[in-house]
Amino acid sequence: MHQALPTSGTYICHGITWASGDPRLLLAPVPGGPLVAAGIMGQRLGYQVNGASRWCSGRYRFADRVRVEAVACTNRAVAEAGGQCAACASQDEFRFAHHFHSGGHVPDALAAYMAQPHWLYLATFADGTTKVGTAADPRKRSRLDEQGALAATYLSQSPDGRAVRFLEDAITRRLGLTQTVRAAAKLTALAELRDLAPARTAHEQHLDHAAEALTDMNIPAVLEPWTPPCEGDLLRAPETGRVLYPHNPREGEHGLTVFSCLGSLVLASPADDGELPYLLDLGALKGRCITLGSQFSSPPAAVQSALF
């Protein structure tokens, strides 16, 4: 499943995964075959988007009692609601997880998965926005790596998935913190990053308030800092020049060499021209049908260098 970035072939893109500890493009070969997790760091990504259709990004199944794995859509079908086709949506063993703590149907496999320890965390992004979230113990690291945050801290460990979801909702009510941050907001904030201090200050303030809330609820706080992966070091450095990629990555052809990655956001340069690095979200490719090839390149664009 893990391999170098293919230099040819047509694929349905499932976005970026950090499941293996580094950023990889998850690809479903067309017309069939198992998913490929292709490394992107230092690689040239040349691709062409085939049409404007959104294709099914498959489903999740339980590999065992404690792990979930992605599965490609068998039919490579057009996506319907939620980015899946009807067949994959009906077979998705993980689809009930988000409402697990509020009642309703719970498959046996999901119940077993939710019975393991879970973590509650805070993640703060480049504009100071902070979200509260949860991760199952096997996903403790990769869940935060894929967020694209500047700073994050594990707040507490819960005995199971139901307890941690109630705790997440309690922190949201008490502190007014969101549980989701839009990809577009993460991209804009990172493009405008000039100083790390505001985000760090915001994170510490929210962390203090969250710790107080946990104490009030008689919940032990661990306050374990997340260590950001080195692949995102350049993007987290305000002195690193970057401008927003001037093209829509979901249409046409593109050729970019990736040299930093934060979540699904990448810093990349068109091959052979040495322009100021571009910032773009490879997560935008999820559900798109792409053909890979060294012959593809980004259109030329006159972009004014950002002032730092």
User: Which residue ranges make up each domain of the chain?
Assistant: 117-233
137 Cβ neighbours under 8 A, 6+ residues apart:
66, 116, 117, 118, 119
pLDDT at 121: 98
Tell me the CA distances in angstroms from 308 to 163, 238, 266, 305, one per residue in order.
45, 8, 19, 9
Q: How far apart are CA 253 and CA 297, in angstroms?
A: 6
pLDDT at 272: 56
Strand locations in 109-208, DSSP E? 118-124, 130-136, 151-158
pLDDT at 194: 94
Q: Are 6 and 291 in contact (CB under 8 A)?
A: no
Q: Are 11 and 289 in contact (CB under 8 A)?
A: yes
pLDDT at 111: 84
Q: How far apart are CA 74 and CA 62, in angstroms?
A: 17
Q: How far apart are CA 84 and CA 227, in angstroms?
A: 33
The tens place of each residue's pLDDT in the chain, 308 residues long, gives 557 899 999 999 999 999 999 999 999 999 999 999 999 999 999 999 999 999 999 998 888 777 888 999 999 999 998 899 999 998 887 766 666 655 666 777 788 888 999 999 999 999 999 999 999 999 999 999 999 999 999 999 999 999 999 999 999 999 999 999 999 999 999 999 999 999 999 999 999 999 999 999 999 999 999 999 999 999 999 999 899 999 999 999 999 999 999 999 999 998 655 567 899 999 999 999 999 999 999 998 754 444 33
pLDDT at 304: 46
3-state secondary structure of 261: strand
Exposure string of 138-151, with b = 16+ CB inside 10 Å and e = fewer, is: bbbbbbbbbbbbbb
CA-closest candidate to residue 249, choices 193, 287, 302, 303: 287
pLDDT at 306: 44
Q: What is the CA radius of gyration of the chain?
A: 20
